[in-house]
C-alpha cells in the first residue's frame, strides 16, 4: 500500500498531511485511544487548519465525513480494484510463505490485504500458532479502516497491527524476533518516490534476518526515447513563446531556463499519446533493485542506446516491472500499452497480461531541455542515469560526453509541465493579452492588483501600462516571484519601481500597501501555486480575494475575469468507473466495509454517490462524450462571494453507458462574454472534476433519455455538491 517508512497514505491533493504521534509505541489493539493531527488547506483562503483524527471518536475530532473525504482522495480504492496486482501478490505470497514458523512483516499495511494473504498462506502450511504476521500502518485514518477489515475477515487475532512507521518498530518490543519474510507495496509511479530505498535499508538493518524472502523480489526500471510535439510543448517554453511573438517574454533570450519544468520524472498516463509519439529507441534497462538485499543510497549507470529512427528526442518515457517471486514466474508491469503488446526480447512478459487501466501507477516522463536532442537512425547515444534515495534522473550525452541538458540557476521558477505548456500556448496568451489591452484602453493611470500567482499577468500589465502601479500578491511564489520579476523586467520594458510584490494572502493586503489608493483593476488567471491538483472551482479563491478587497475597490473597478461559469458534460468513463467501483471480495477477503470510506461507486446505501474528484479526463482511459456541454451556474465576480445554486436538464446526444459527469469552470474575461478561457476536457492543461454516479445509467437519445443535474456552491468550504436524476 502507499507509504514510506510507515505506509503513509498518498496525501489528498488539497491537503498537506502532517502526522504527529499522539501515543508512541501504540499498537492498534491497545485500549487507549491514539490520535493524529492533520493539516488541511482551505482552498478558498489559502489558510490551513488542524484536524484531529482520533481512533475512538474523542471530543474535538474531525467529523467522520471529513475523515472519509481524506481517504476518498487517495489511491487506495484504485489500487484494490487492480485485479492483476492483487493476483500477482497473492501468488507470490503463497510461494514465499512456505515455512510454518515464518515470521512475516508487512510494511505499509493499507487495508491489510497483504497481511491477510500472508496469514492465510501461513495457515495453509500449518503455521497457525507457530509463525506470525506483523504489520505497520502509520496513517491513522487508514489504520482505523484496517482494523475494520481485519475484523470483517476474522483476522484481528492473526495479524498484529501497529500504528507507527516501520523505523519505529523494535525487535524485542513490538516484534518478538527479526522477520524472515517481508511483504510490502511502497511503490509510486517512479518506483522510489514513497521511500522504498530508506525503508528497505532500515528494515534490513534492524527488522529482517539475513537473506530474507521478499515480496516483491526485484524491481527493474526501463526507459524509451520518444519524439512528441505535445511533450515538447510541456517543457520548452522559450521556443513556444518565441513562436507566439506577442512581445511578452517569460523566458527572455539569455534566460531560456529561468522558467522551466522541474528536472524530475513526471507521472503521466502516456497511452492516450500513442498516436502522437514517435519511438526513437527500443526499451532499455535502467536500474535493478533487489528487495532481498540492502539497497545502495545512490548509483549511476551509463547506458548505450542505438536509435531506431531520425527525429528529435523530446523525452524519456519510463516504467517499471516487478518480479514478485524468486523463481521469476510472477511479474507485474506498468509499461505503456505499446510495450506490453510488443514481443520485444529481454522484456519480462506478464503471465496474465489482461491488465486494466489504473490510475495509482502511471508512466513517467523525463523531459530533455530546450528543443530536444536531434538524432539520426542507428546513431549511438549515451545516457547517464542516476538515482538517490527517492528519485531517478537522466542526462543525455552527446558523442563528446557533454550534456545536452542545460544547467539551471538556483533562482529560476519551476512549474508543472501543464503550466509550462499553457504559458507557451499562443491562443491562451492571445486571449489574456486582448482582454488586458481592452481593459487598459481609455483608462487613467491605475492601481492594478494581480490577485494570484500569475507571472504572465504581472509582466503583461506592467509592460502595457508603464504609468500604472502594479501590486502582485504572489501568495505562493512570494520572494521567488519577486526575484524572477526583477530578472526579466528589462526584457519586458518595465521598471521594478512600478511593481510591488506583496507575497501574502489576500487577507493580508492593507491600505498602506496600496498607498491609500483605490484598486482600479483586479486581475487573475486565476492560478495559485500548489492548487494544480485541486478541483477546478477551488480557483474561486480569486472570488474570495475580490471579496476581501471590496472596500478597496474603486467604484468603476474592472475585475478580470468578470465571472466563472460552471460547465458539465455527460460522459462514459468505463475505465475510471472500474477503478472506483465498490469492493466486495478481493482475492478471497471481504472488503465491503471500506466502500463508503474510500468513496466507492455502486452498491452504496440508497442513492449515495462518491465524491467529486480531480482528474485529467484525457488520461482516464476510454472516454466518450454523451451530451453537449451545459452551463449549470454562474459565479459573478462583480459581487462579493456568496452561495450559489444551479440546475440544468441534460439531453443526451449519443447512446451509451453514462458513468458520470465531467465538470469544470470557463473563465469569462470580459463583460461582453467575447473572450472566454475554457478548462474543459478538450484542453489538456487543466484537471476537471469528475462526479461519478451511484450506478451507471444506459442512455439513448432515441428514447428521449435526459438527466436533471443540480449543483450547490458553499462559500464557507469552497465545495460544490451535485445531485442528479434520470428520466
Cell 505499446 -> residue: 338
Show Cβ contacts of residue 32 under 8 Å, excluding neighbours closer than 6 positions: 23, 26
Pair 664, 536: CB distance under 8 Å: yes
Q: Which three cell numbers stand for residue 473?
A: 500578491
Residue with cell 508543472: 416
Rounded alpha-carbon distances, angstroms, from residue 208 to 136, 176, 227: 14, 12, 45
Closest listed residue to residue 612, CA positions, set 714, 725, 689, 687: 689
Residue whose entry in the numeric block shows the C-alpha cell 485514518: 141
Contact 393, 387 (CB under 8 A): yes
The answer to whether the CB of 390 falls within 8 A of the CB of 195 is yes
Cell numbers of 435, please?
A: 482582454
How far apart (Å, rounded) are the C-alpha atoms in residues 475 and 505?
5
Q: What is the 3-state secondary structure (H, E, C) of 560-577?
A: ECCEEEEEEEEEECHHHH
3-state secondary structure (DSSP) of residue 381: strand
Tell me which residue of 517, 506, 516, 512 sits closest to 540, measured CA to CA: 506
CA distance 267 to 264: 10
From CA 292, how far away is CA 185, in angstroms rounded?
Answer: 14
Question: Active-site residue 651, yes or no?
Answer: no
Smallest CA-to-CA distance from 211 within 171, 170, 182, 169 is with 182
Please give the Cα distance from 627 to 373 (Å, whole number): 43
State residue 524 phi and psi, 5-degree precision. -165, 160
Q: Which three cell numbers stand for residue 367?
A: 523531459
Going from the C-alpha of 204 to that of each of 105, 182, 293, 639, the distances in angstroms are 12, 10, 7, 61
CA distance 598 to 601: 9
The answer to whether 185 is a known catalytic residue is yes
The DSSP bridge partners found for residue 652 are 627
Q: What is the DSSP string of 49-91?
A: EEEEEESS--TTBPPHHHHHHHHHTSSHHHHHT-HHHHHHHHH
Residue 290, H or E segment:
strand 284-290
Spatial distance between the Cα atoms of 315 and 130, rounded to a whole number of angstroms: 52
Measured CA to CA, the distance from residue 451 to residue 549 in angstroms comes to: 10
Alpha-carbon span 387 to 298, nearest angstrom: 5
All three cell numbers of 570, joined, read 455527460
State the DSSP H helix or E strand holding residue 426, giving kind and residue range, or none if neither.
Answer: helix 426-440
Q: Are 422 and 415 in contact (CB under 8 A)?
A: no
Cis peptide before 561 (omega within 30 of 0): yes
Give, in order, the Cα–Cα distances in Å from 52 to each of 38, 308, 444: 6, 56, 52
Catalytic option among 168, 194, 282, 587: 194
- Candidate list 156, 185, 241, 282, residue with the active-site label: 185
Please provide residue 91's backbone torsions phi and psi, each rounded to the nearest 5 degrees.
-65, -40
Residue 631 Cα distances to 614, 689, 723, angstroms: 19, 14, 15
Q: What span, in angstroms and rounded, lies between the C-alpha atoms of 370 and 404?
A: 9
C-alpha 681/C-alpha 676 separation (Å) is 15
The alpha carbons of the chain give a radius of gyration, in whole angstroms, of: 27
Question: Among all residues, which ones are annotated catalytic?
Answer: 185, 194
Amino acid at each position: 500500500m502507499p507509504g514510506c517508512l510507515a505506509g503513509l497514505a498518498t496525501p489528498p491533493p488539497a491537503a498537506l498531511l502532517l502526522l504527529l504521534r499522539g501515543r508512541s509505541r501504540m499498537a492498534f489493539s491497545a485500549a487507549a485511544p491514539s490520535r493524529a493531527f492533520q493539516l488541511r488547506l482551505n482552498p478558498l483562503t489559502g489558510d490551513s487548519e488542524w484536524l484531529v483524527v482520533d481512533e475512538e471518536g474523542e471530543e474535538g475530532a474531525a467529523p467522520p465525513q471529513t475523515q472519509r473525504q481524506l481517504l476518498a482522495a487517495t489511491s487506495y480504492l484504485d489500487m484494490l480494484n487492480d485485479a492483476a496486482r492483487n493476483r500477482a501478490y497473492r501468488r507470490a505470497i503463497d510461494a514465499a510463505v512456505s515455512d510454518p514458523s515464518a515470521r512475516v512483516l508487512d510494511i505499509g499495511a493499507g487495508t491489510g490485504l497483504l497481511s491477510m494473504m500472508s496469514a492465510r498462506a501461513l495457515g495453509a502450511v500449518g503455521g497457525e500458532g507457530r509463525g506470525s504476521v506483523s504489520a505497520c500502518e502509520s496513517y491513522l485514518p487508514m489504520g482505523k479502516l484496517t482494523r475494520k477489515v481485519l475484523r470483517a475477515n476474522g483476522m484481528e487475532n492473526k495479524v498484529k497491527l501497529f500504528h507507527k512507521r516501520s523505523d519505529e518498530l523494535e525487535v524485542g518490543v513490538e516484534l518478538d524476533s527479526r522477520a524472515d519474510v517481508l511483504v510490502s507495496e511502497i511503490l509510486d509511479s517512479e518506483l522510489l518516490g514513497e521511500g522504498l530505498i530508506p525503508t528497505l535499508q532500515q528494515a534490513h538493518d534492524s527488522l529482517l534476518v539475513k537473506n530474507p524472502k521478499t515480496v516483491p523480489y526485484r524491481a527493474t526500471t526501463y526507459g524509451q526515447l520518444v519524439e512528441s510535439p505535445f511533450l515538447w510543448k510541456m517543457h520548452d517554453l522559450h521556443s513556444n513563446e518565441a513562436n507566439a511573438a506577442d512581445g511578452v517574454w517569460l523566458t527572455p533570450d539569455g534566460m531560456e531556463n529561468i522558467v522551466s519544468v522541474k528536472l524530475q520524472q513526471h507521472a503521466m498516463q502516456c497511452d492516450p499519446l500513442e498516436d502522437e509519439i514517435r519511438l526513437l529507441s527500443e526499451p532499455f534497462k535502467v536500474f535493478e533493485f533487489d528487495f532481498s538485499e540492502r539497497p545502495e543510497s545512490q548509483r549511476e549507470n551509463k547506458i548505450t542506446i542505438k536509435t531506431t529512427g531520425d527525429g528529435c528526442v523530446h523525452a524519456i518515457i519510463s516504467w517499471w516491472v516487478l518480479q514478485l517471486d524468486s523463481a521469476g514466474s510472477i511479474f507485474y508491469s506498468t509499461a505503456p500499452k505499446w510495450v506490453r503488446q510488443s514481443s520485444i526480447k529481454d522484456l519480462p512478459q506478464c503471465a496474465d497480461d489482461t491488465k486494466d487501466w489504473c490510475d495509482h501507477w502511471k508512466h513517467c516522463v523525463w523531459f530533455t531541455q530546450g528543443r530536444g536532442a536531434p538524432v539520426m537512425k542507428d546513431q549511438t547515444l549515451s545516457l547517464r542515469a542516476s538515482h538517490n534515495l527517492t528519485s531517478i534522473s537522466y542526462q543525455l550525452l552527446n558523442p563528446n560526453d557533454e550534456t545536452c541538458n542545460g544547467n539551471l540557476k538556483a533562482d529560476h521558477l519551476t512549474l508543472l509541465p501543464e503550466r509550462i505548456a499553457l504559458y507557451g500556448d499562443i491562443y491562451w496568451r492571445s486571449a489574456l493579452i486582448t482582454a488586458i489591452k481592452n481593459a487598459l484602453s481609455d483608462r487613467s493611470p491605475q492601481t492594478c492588483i494581480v490577485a494570484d500567482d500569475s507571472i504572465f499577468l504581472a509582466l503583461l500589465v506592467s509592460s502595457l501600462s508603464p504609468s500604472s502601479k502594479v501590486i502582485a500578491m504572489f501568495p505562493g511564489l512570494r520572494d521567488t516571484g519577486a526575484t524572477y520579476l526583477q530578472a526579466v523586467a528589462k526584457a519586458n520594458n518595465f521598471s521594478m519601481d512600478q511593481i510591488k510584490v506583496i507575497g501574502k494572502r489576500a487577507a493580508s493586503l492593507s491600505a498602506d500597501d496600496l498607498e491609500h489608493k483605490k484598486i482600479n483593476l483586479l486581475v487573475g488567471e486565476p492560478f495559485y501555486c500548489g492548487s494544480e491538483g485541486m478541483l477546478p472551482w477551488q480557483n474561486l479563491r480569486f472570488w474570495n480575494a475580490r471579496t476581501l478587497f471590496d472596500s478597496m475597490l474603486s467604484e468603476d473597478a474592472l475585475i478580470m475575469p468578470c465571472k466563472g461559469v460552471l460547465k458539465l458534460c455527460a460522459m462514459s468513463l468505463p475505465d475510471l468507473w472500474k477503478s472506483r467501483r465498490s469492493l466486495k471480495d478481493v482475492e478471497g477477503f471481504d472488503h465491503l466495509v471500506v466502500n463508503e470510506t474510500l468513496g466507492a461507486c455502486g452498491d452504496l446505501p440508497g442513492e449515495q454517490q462518491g465524491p467529486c474528484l480531480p482528474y485529467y479526463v484525457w488520461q482516464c482511459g476510454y472516454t466518450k462524450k454523451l451530451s453537449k456541454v451545459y452551463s449549470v451556474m454562474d459565479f459573478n465576480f462583480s459581487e462579493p462571494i456568496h452561495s450559489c445554486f444551479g440546475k440544468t436538464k441534460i439531453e443526451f446526444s449519443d447512446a451509451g453507458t453514462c458513468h458520470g459527469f465531467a465538470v469544470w469552470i470557463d473563465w469569462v474575461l470580459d463583460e461582453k462574454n467575447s473572450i472566454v478561457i475554457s478548462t474543459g476536457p478538450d484542453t489538456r492543461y487543466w484537471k476537471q472534476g469528475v462526479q461519478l454516479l451511484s450506478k451507471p445509467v444506459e442512455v439513448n437519445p432515441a428514447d428521449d433519455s435526459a438527466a436533471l443535474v443540480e449543483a450547490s456552491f458553499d462559500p464557507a468550504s469552497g465545495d460544490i455538491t451535485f445531485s442528479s436524476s434520470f428520466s
